[in-house]
Structure 1
Amino acid sequence: MTRSVWLKADDAVGDWDARRKRITAGLEAGVDWVLVDAADVGQVRELGDVNVAAFTDGDAKVIDEAEPQAEPDAYVVGKDGEGDGTVDLPADFSGSADLSTLRRDDDRADGAYVRIFNEGYEEFAEAAAQEADYTIVVGEDWTIIPLENLIARIGEETELIAGVTSAEEAETAFETLEIGSDAVLLDTDDPDEIRKTVEVREAAERETLDLDWAEVTAVERTGSADRVCVDTGSLMDHDEGMLVGSMSRGLFFVHAETAESPYVASRPFRVNAGAVHAYVRTPDGGTKYLSELKSGDEVQVVDTDGHTREATVGRIKIEKRPMFRVEAEFSDGDRVETLLQNAETIKIATSEGRKAITDLEVGDEIRVYHEGGARHFGEAVEESIIEK
């Protein structure tokens, strides 16, 4: 599931200066959407590149030609109406202004905004979700229980967005019922809280891999090959690296060049990843050949415990270098291998800690990601394949 962070910045926040400061903090933190009033869409566009949703009533989509407004990416109904309690809920939900607007074939609104005051509003939100692409729910006296109920009832027909005021609340929303909301609508002026909420979103999207131990069965010098260094736009920690290998079913953990040496300065943005033919794992669970990588691509960064994150490739360096062939065997007898440069700066994760490839020996236990099946254009497929 792809999660997102929406930032609330309508006139309830204050004057335009207050709204602008909040939006700017959101842009700098990396929020995905900004929710504003329709009149502010153009000004938000001038501040930066972000998806913009606008509060509107059913008629506000017909723009006055004398004073044209910038178009948002999504219109949201519910403010100053039934959705926020300004207008009492009707006995017959199907006759409400909000839902009739959502159901119109022409100029259909995209989203619904509902504050959950009681069970009636919870039912109203559930009804709105049947029609809306985006359903924003903001809990009042109760927050977790209504969200649990809506997650269980709504299904996949809408993107459910939970109102929150902090990163801690966002984390709870993303974890509720082990499914979580699709997104959160954050209402805060605190730049640190905005940044932390984006970090929570990123953590919620990341997978954790089960890394296996494999026993080294061969370490052999080979001739030279075209070796690839992957330089990213991110600094990596001491226990981070990438998963690379000659065979897609077994990718070797190779450390980033974070260690100092007497001869070479550390380069914590770099992984010396092996020969051009090898695979590297990407954030979507796929693979790419190292030879395919280019500036702007995303690769998956992994730590020795299997926690992952994404990093953007800044540069690829391909040079001819002498290589080692490393072969390792899993407990089930499956053997995998890869080519790595013959150099002291290339470190492998072993059961005894990080170890230079030049010191690796037969019998060492090393970290390898073991995955069954084969790959076709980087995608896992179920078919028979022989790699050797």
Structure 2
Amino acid sequence: MKEIWLIDDGEVWDEVKEHVKDAIELGFTGVAVKKEFMELVRKLGNIEVEEAEVFRIRGAEDQERVVELSRTAGRIFLSFDNWKIIPLENLIAMKGSAKIIPIVSDAEEARVVLTTLERGADGIAITPRSRDEMRSFRDVVEETESVRLVKGRVVEIRKLGMGDRVCVDTITMMTPGEGMLVGNTAEFMFLVASESEESEYVASRPFRVNAGSVNAYIKVGERTRYLAELRAGDEVEIVRHDGRTRRSYVGRVKIEKRPMLLVRARAGDVEGSVILQNAETIKLVGEGGRHISVSELKEGDEILVYIGEKARHFGVAVEESIIEG
């Protein structure tokens, strides 16, 4: 998930405090302040806090130093003299494991930073400004979060026996056409719909995704998690049928034994599967956000899927040969 930080190196705590309070209430990732204010910030709310240190990029030598630093640092805040897109492209392409967070001055610059080389920087940072302006930057971060969904064609539907399935209840209300990306491999994931549609059998539960079997992966930003690992407070990713994503958190997880169903699909030359509860309220998402119940699903039906990196180690993409089925 993309991050948004407030960098406030002000000298007067009462002024800094007001900006920090706005950042907390608007859901910013974190704030960077002077070292002597860090503990005071922690008392205001549960938000990440770092010392306000910004690395200034003035030329190629600075760029090389940041690349080197990115191999050991956790997060690097950047400012650019004579802003140009090429230095940022270079840093995104060459950096190590550190998160690169450039300071931006307006919404358009924020959009460029977050989408450069498609992948974009790991987030943006802003300096103090009005609450409404801070909210507008947060909205830019949310609108640029997206994944590329493609149409997959169902090639097999097969009833299985009993298995353990996972319901993920979030702290966010979802709408029709939204859900979570789940699959038996990280390479091929299905958009499983939220229970946001009414049914003649049960009331809608728009905060819930009946996501699949305990072994399945769920996509969370650039990582994957096993459904069985999720716990209250864990971050999850809500995905719309148009690929836009937003962040939420688990309220609770329910694992229960239910009859299960295998769904296998193909997109181009890539094939994948997911195991879902066999019930009419469990739905996949089709083009335009249409929900398709697994009880009505047929071979040849088209559903929305995500094609990702193949190899994973503890949920992180790695360069290695791997075969999953």
Q: Match for residue 136 of structure 2?
A: 196
- Gapped regions of structure 1 (runs ≥ 5): 53-72, 77-110, 115-121, 140-144
Q: Which amino acid aligns with 1:5?
A: W
Q: Match for residue 337 of structure 1?
A: 273
Which deviates more, 191-200 or 147-156? 147-156
Contact 1:7 1:23 in 2 (8 A): no
Aligned residue among 205, 216, 225 for 1:278: 216
Asked if residue 218 in structure 1 is aligned to residue 135 in structure 2, the reply is: no
Q: Which amino acid aligns with 1:30?
A: G
Give 3-state SS (helix, strand or coil) of 1:327's partner: strand
Q: CA RMSD in A?
A: 3.9
Asked if residue 313 in structure 1 is aligned to residue 250 in structure 2, the reply is: yes
Give 3-state SS (helix, strand or coil) of 1:211's partner: strand
Tell me by how many angstroms 1:10 deviates: 1.6
Q: Match for residue 238 of structure 1?
A: 176
Give 3-state SS (helix, strand or coil) of 2:103's partner: strand
Aligned residue among 103, 115, 118 for 1:162: 103
1:79-228 alignment, distance < 5 Å: 111=54, 137=79, 145-148=82-85, 151=88, 161-162=102-103, 164=105, 166-174=106-114, 184-204=124-144, 206-214=145-153, 216-228=154-166
User: Larger % of strand: which?
Assistant: 2
Tell me by how many angstroms 1:49 deviates: 4.0
Structure ranking higher on relative contact order (CA contacts 8 Å, 6+ apart): 2
Tell me by how many angstroms 1:232 deviates: 1.6
Give 3-state SS (helix, strand or coil) of 1:227's partner: strand
Tell me by how many angstroms 1:35 deviates: 5.0
Q: Match for residue 362 of structure 1?
A: 299
Q: 1:278-304 deviations in whole A, cap 9, x for unaligned?
A: 222222243x33222222323332222
Instruction: Tell me, in whole angstroms, the C-alpha distance in 2 between the residues paired with 1:335 and 1:160.
Output: 36
Contact 1:211 1:306 in 2 (8 A): no
CA shift in 2, pair 1:278/1:175, >3 Å: closer
CA shift in 2, pair 1:17/1:380, >3 Å: closer
Contact 1:227 1:275 in 2 (8 A): yes
Contact 1:9 1:22 in 2 (8 A): no
Asked if residue 291 in structure 1 is aligned to residue 288 in structure 2, the reply is: no
Instruction: Tell me, in whole angstroms, the C-alpha distance in 1 between the residues paired with 2:13 and 2:28.
Output: 19
Tell me by how many angstroms 1:338 deviates: 2.7
Q: Match for residue 269 of structure 1?
A: 207
Q: Which amino acid aligns with 1:327?
A: R
Instruction: Tell me, in whole angstroms, the C-alpha distance in 1 between the residues paired with 2:47 and 2:52.
Output: 15
Report which of the two structures shows the higher radius of gyration computed on alpha carbons: 1
Contact 2:151 2:287 in 1 (8 A): no
Instruction: Tell me, in whole angstroms, the C-alpha distance in 1 between the residues paired with 2:271 and 2:114.
Output: 39
Instruction: Tell me, in whole angstroms, the C-alpha distance in 1 between the residues paired with 2:32 and 2:161.
Output: 58
Q: Which amino acid aligns with 2:133?
A: E
- Gapped regions of structure 2 (runs ≥ 5): none
Give 3-state SS (helix, strand or coil) of 2:321's partner: coil
Aligned residue among 35, 47, 64 for 2:44: 47
Q: Match for residue 26 of structure 2?
A: 29
Q: Which amino acid aligns with 2:278?
A: N
Tell me by how many angstroms 1:276 deviates: 1.8
Q: Match for residue 90 of structure 1?
A: none
Instruction: Tell me, in whole angstroms, the C-alpha distance in 2 between the residues paired with 1:299 and 1:130.
Output: 34
Q: Match for residue 66 of structure 1?
A: none
Instruction: Tell me, in whole angstroms, the C-alpha distance in 1 between the residues paired with 2:55 and 2:305.
Output: 47
Q: Which amino acid aligns with 1:194?
A: M
Give 3-state SS (helix, strand or coil) of 2:41's partner: helix
Instruction: Tell me, in whole angstroms, the C-alpha distance in 1 between the residues paired with 2:104 and 2:220.
Output: 32
Instruction: Tell me, in whole angstroms, the C-alpha distance in 2 between the residues paired with 1:372 and 1:146.
Output: 32
